Amino acid sequence: MQITLTAKVKILPTPEQIDSLRQTLRAYRLASDYLSKLVFEEKIPSRTKLHQLMYRELRSAFSLRSQMAQSVMRTVIARYKSLVGNGHLWTFVRFKKPELDLVWRRDYLLTQRMFSINTLQGRIKVPYESKGMDLTSLPQM
């Protein structure tokens, strides 16, 4: 049996880390919008086909790390599948707000002391607050 834990933590980044996180969020949003336009126009429903067509371009054009490029494709395809699955007409999906789909152990790690997250510039380690959470069972970094 697998248990999923959803937690909200407040990260406490330095000004340099804030800049790195903003750049990463912006690149992810721009890449998502770019890919969404292609999916909308070409009606590409398959992540495999999308990967073959766009993976290298996403990495080079938006400076995305490997896992981020995969996440962009997964996010965009999921939005279109949700659109169709909910009975809506095929319309262009826009990505206006900053977002980042994170994969545990690939994009981020959470330990008792640090939140480690992947950015365009590489992995950064940021202290965080976890009010009301018992994190004693998490591994040390």
Q: What is the mean pLDDT of each run of 10 residues along the chain (141 residues)?
A: 79 97 97 96 88 95 95 94 92 92 85 89 92 60 45
State residue 88's pLDDT score. Answer: 93
Domain annotation covers residue 140: no
Looking at the 3D structure of the chain, how many domains does it have? Answer: 1
46 within domain boundaries: yes
Of 140, 122, 129, nearest to 17 by C-alpha is 122
Is residue 54 assigned to a domain?
yes
Identity of residue 28: Y
**% helix, strand, coil for the chain, step of 5:** 45, 15, 40
Rounded-to-integer distance, Cα 105 and Cα 103, Å: 6
Residues 124, 108: Cα–Cα separation, whole Å: 9
What confidence score (pLDDT) does residue 138 get?
A: 55
39 in a structural domain: yes
95 located within any domain: yes
Residue 9 lies in a domain: no
pLDDT for the residue 2? 82
